Amino acid sequence: MADGEERTGTRLDRLLRLGTPPVAATVLTGTVALYMALVAFGNITDFDTNRQFVRHVLAMDTTFRDPDLMWRAVESPVLQDAAYVAIIVWEVLTSLVLLLATWLWIAGPRRGGPERARRASTLGLVMVLLLFGLGFICIGGEWFAMWQSSDWNGLDAAARNVALAAFALVVVRLASPRGDGR
């Protein structure tokens, strides 16, 4: 094989390494990390916009106001704001875990290999699933009947976030060199 052919094969091999599951896991983890960081940043710097969202969902003031459900409403502004601050704290922690996971994927063997990156990614992505799946879809959507509101309904956005995090989680778990998902 001529020198030019060897170098071409080597370049091609390097290029094809970008198509591996760990690279896909890195990109997806980084994408969700950046998204969560931007969500947290937006909620901190434009506090009142989503504060109103949380207040209306918890107060159930734009639902059908069914008396059988209205006992669930949280009308205390202090409790509403506490819930919103808890959401923001969760978003910040989630983004930090996912940013760490992205760094661990990039650092590779120097920082404990792909297993540490996989575990950190899994933790962060499960945190996203808890926030948007449990928090927004289950609790907000069903318990506080957010689905009934035409003005303050975040179920579509929550579903997109759950889908992205779930897809990323599958890719992260498939990135195992052993192929066993551990």
Q: What is the pLDDT of residues 32-91, one digit of tens each?
A: 999 999 999 999 999 999 999 999 999 999 999 999 999 999 999 999 999 999 999 999
Q: What six digits make up the tokens of 39? A: 């969500």
pLDDT band at 12 (very low <50, low <70, confident <90, very high): confident
CA atoms within a 13 Å half-sphere pointing along the CA-CB vector of 50 = 18
What's the pTM? 0.89
User: Checking phi first, is residue 145 left (phi over 0); if not, alpha (psi -120 to 50) or beta?
Assistant: left
Question: Position of tokens 């994408």?
Answer: 31
Q: What six digits make up the tokens of 98? A: 């996912």
Residues 6+ apart with CB under 8 A from 54: 80, 83, 84, 87
Quick check: helix, strand or coil at residue 30? Answer: helix
pLDDT at 125 over 50: yes
Q: What six digits make up the tokens of 94? A: 């989630």
Phi, psi of 67 (to 5 degrees): -60, -25
What is the rounded distance in angstroms from the CA atom of residue 97 to the CA atom of residue 122? 10
What is the rounded distance in angstroms from the CA atom of residue 31 to the CA atom of residue 132? 16
Taking a C-beta distance cutoff of 8 angstroms, is the pair 18, 161 a contact?
A: no
Share of the chain above pLDDT 90, in %: 81
pLDDT at 136 over 60: yes
